[in-house]
A and B are shown apart, each in its own frame.
Chain A
Amino acid sequence: MASKKITNATHGISTVAVQAGEAHQKPGHSITDPIFCASTFTFSDTDAIIRFIEEKEEREEYGRYGNPGEKVAERKLAALEGSEDAILYSSGMAAMVGLVMTKLNAGDEVVFFDECYHRSREFCAKHMSRFGVITRQVKACDYDAMEAAINDKTKLLISESPTNPHLSIIDLDRFAAIGKKHGVETLIDATLATPYNLKPINHGVDYVLHSATKYLAGHNDLLAGVIAGSTEQLEPVRKLRGIMGAVNSAHNIYLLLRGLKTFSLRMQQHNKSGLAVAQFLETHPRVEKVYYPGLESHKYYDVAQKTMSGFGGLITFLVKDADWRATANIVDAVTIPRIAPSLGGVESLIEQPLVMSYYECSPEDRARFGIQDNMIRLAVGIEDTDDLIEDLKQALEA
């Protein structure tokens, strides 16, 4: 039995993070949820199977269809998101694939804002195309272009907010309204925002996707993905997951649940340090420009202020008068952030998008994606803020 429903409407987010989705009294009376390393679940007798099939009894059947620990995590994630339901996957990409494979059939179309996570766009543009699905991409935050790209085949509108690495902020009310007006479902990848800072469901968005690998799990030690939405809309998605099999493991799910316990605290710290570091960078003479939604200079500052309660730890900045090598030298000179892709963990990470993700892209394509040679992306962790600023300062001034 789950404890009296704890949601983000009735309780503070820390309470939701620690307690929501969990039974008050757990198996074995343990305070934490056990890790069920079970590939299958036994039935006491034939009648028990029949009761299960006739839906008279809710229980597990086989690991690919569900696991008790997974249910706890899904309930907790839904409570954080303020959605009815949530489905967990083995990675963020698996979640994206799970949704688009469910919603898009041959002949259907999907429209992306072009700053959405590049692998998501690539999956639709390069792979769903094999099944006759057409992918259209329009400039991020160009709502008219998005609306113009919709036709009677369009089934899904997808964006990320904030986007990566430019941290553009989508006006979710407008985005959701376009979908509603045309009877097209909408999906927001809110990985960079997390439910601590943004609740797309409240703006009328149908599905929220997270690479839970990032802030939700928060310790750079597991992969996971989640899609939140209404039970009804997610039902076929869940069914397909059971068939395609991109489920997460019992061990990972435990670590995710454990990470979620400190989610609210970690986010407070990421938000605080993120803003402080962004402000530091903005005033540094070697920095040309900082992309961070909490800065007044940010193009989407107003939308961000209206919709978000904090801006997370991801900061992108341009180094003044630096070619790619001079920029790389700064990345190589920092000592606390590690050089690695990904974000959202306790450890700060740093990378140069040109090298890390776009090295094999033509200069024209990079220009089109807005990836500059002198661009650095910093994922601020929860180390001491002063230590991080000190470290960046020495690297910039080295």
Chain B
Amino acid sequence: MKFRTKSIHVGNQRDPQTGAVVPPIHVASTFVQPGAGEWGEFDYSRSGNPTRKNFETTIAALEGGSGALAFASGMAATHCATMLFSTGDHIVAGTDIYGGTYRLLHKISNRSGIETTLAAANDLDALEKAITPNTKMLWIESPGNPLMSITDIKACAAIAKKHGILLGVDSTFATPVLTRPLELGADIVMHSATKYLGGHSDSLGGALVVKDQELFDRLYFIQNATGAVMAPLDSFLASRGLKTLAIRVKEQSKTAMYLAEKLAADSRITRVLYPGLSTHPGHDIAKQQMDSGFGAMLSFEVAGGFEKAKKMAESTKFFQLAVSLGAVESLIEQPASMSHASYDREDRLAHGIQDELIRISVGLEDAEDLWADLDQALSQ
């Protein structure tokens, strides 16, 4: 069964009782049991819920995993993964990880005595050097935010394997349509389902997908014990989102490529960061590990500095000024004043985040309408 067919049918079996083509939404917090001490498949919704299970089954199939767990948000999913570790353990993470993950690792996990070292994930030597005897996990993100840096997942998997540690990949930007990290040797795939999986900017969610049953059991234990599960209504919306995931992501990637080429050829733009462009430093790896497109996130630098970029971000009509990404509506933001404003300017610059950098999340609107919108905003 191919990807699109799986996204519609796996995990969405017809309801055996009523024949409903779309499985019912089970809002129950608890489930009546067959007898005292006899347990049915579901007992209590924190431990498992049929609607959540449907979404988990579908996303596991799409990622090529054996099991998935759905969470209340992407951060809840990442947090669950970090809870695998104990005092004294160590995590190596890419420098381009999502800011919320950075915050979790440096301000929360450290309280439990779990230390994190950041290393440039596109510099495999640096990454490997950061590994110590206490390191338990390598955590990477590809494409990375906001520079769309590409990390070689297969190579990272080889490093993780060599050192006997887990490889976790935040695959939010790539989605299983473009990249399936488990097939490349990763142990855990994480998604902010808030983004492309749900795809309509209308719910928060997260997911962890794994191949290994023992790892799944450990994560499930943590999820059940800590309780940050995805709600039934959101699970339904997430499942509904998965049914159009492939067509959305392919179309959005196609439009992003079109816009990247337009921007690259425009004199008002000094630099475009999109892995689909041959000028992007990660292009060759992206070509290998991304199928049918390079994603729908792209960044670019506007000639004229901070004010010019700010003005541009405020002047678009279809690109709405908001953080987040991955939905049908196109969004625009200026990392220096929005997503990365909490960093010191020096730190930002050290990370390559210039004041004039603009990040866009390309939605489903017509490519030409979106270009016309960027074009007029750049002239403001």
Residues of chain A at the chain B interface (Cβ within 8 Å): 3-4, 11-15, 17-19, 24, 31-32, 219-221, 255, 258, 261-262, 264-266, 268-269, 336, 338, 340, 345-347, 349, 381-384, 386-388
Contact = CB atoms under 8 A, between A and B. Distances in A.
Contacts of A381: 8
A221 B328 contact: no
Contact of B9 (A18, A269, A347): A347
B271 interface: no
Interface stretch (B33-41, B295-303, B362-370): B362-370
A15 B362 CA distance: 12
B366 A345 contact: no
Contacts of B324: 31
A212 B14 CA distance: 22
Given A12-B369, A346-B243, A220 B22 contact: yes
Nearest to A31: B201
A183 B91 CA distance: 77
A22 to B, nearest CB: 9
A32 B202 contact: yes
A336 B369 contact: no
B364 A32 contact: no
Interface stretch (B99-107, B285-293, B315-323): B315-323
Given A261-B200, A346-B8, A383-B5, A19 B365 contact: yes
Interface in B2-18: 2-5, 8-9, 12, 14
Contacts of A31: 201, 320, 322, 324, 327, 329, 331
Contacts of A219: 22, 240, 243
A383 B242 CA distance: 12
A269 B247 contact: yes
A345 B3 contact: no
Contacts of B331: 31
Contact of A12 (B2, B9, B244, B365): B365
Contact of B364 (A265, A340, A347, A388): A265
B251, B317, B364 interface centre (most CB from chain A within 10 Å): B364
Given A266-B244, A384-B1, 20 more contacts: A12-B366, A14-B251, A14-B366, A15-B366, A18-B329, A31-B322, A32-B201, A220-B22, A258-B200, A261-B328, A261-B364, A262-B364, A336-B9, A338-B14, A338-B21, A347-B9, A382-B4, A384-B3, A384-B4, A386-B2
B248 interface: yes
A336 B21 contact: no
B364 A18 contact: yes
B133 interface: no
B2 A384 contact: yes
Interface in B234-253: 237, 240, 243-244, 247-248, 251
B364 A264 contact: yes
Contacts of A387: 1-2, 4-5
Interface string B53-86: 0000000000000000000000000000000000
Contacts of A261: 200, 328-329, 364
Nearest to A13: B366
Contacts of B368: 12
B248 A262 contact: yes
Interface in B358-380: 363-370
Nearest to B2: A384
A3 B317 contact: yes
Contact of A382 (B8, B251, B318): B8
Nearest to A387: B5
A26 to B, nearest CB: 10
Contacts of B364: 14, 17-18, 261-262, 264-265
B201 to A, nearest CB: 5
Nearest to A35: B202
Contacts of B247: 262, 265-266, 268-269, 382
B22 A258 contact: no
A386 B365 CA distance: 27
Contacts of B251: 14, 265
B317 A220 contact: no
Interface string B179-223: 000000000000000000000111000000000000000000000
In the A-B complex, the 7 residue pairs with the smallest Cβ-Cβ separation, listed nearest first, are: A12-B366, A384-B2, A383-B5, A15-B365, A261-B328, A387-B5, A15-B369
A17 to B, nearest CB: 7
20 contacts: A11-B365, A12-B367, A14-B364, A19-B318, A31-B201, A31-B322, A32-B200, A219-B22, A221-B21, A258-B237, A261-B329, A262-B328, A340-B19, A347-B9, A349-B21, A384-B1, A384-B2, A386-B2, A387-B1, A387-B4
A261, A268, A338, A388 interface centre (most CB from chain B within 10 Å): A261
A268 B244 CA distance: 12
A219 B237 CA distance: 11
A265 B248 contact: yes
Contact of B365 (A3, A18, A336): A18
A349 B12 CA distance: 14
A11 B318 CA distance: 11
Contacts of A3: 317
B25 to A, nearest CB: 10
B97 to A, nearest CB: 24
A15 B255 CA distance: 12
B75 to A, nearest CB: 19
A232 to B, nearest CB: 30
Contacts of A264: 364
B363 A220 contact: no
Contacts of B12: 347
Contacts of A382: 4, 8, 243-244, 247
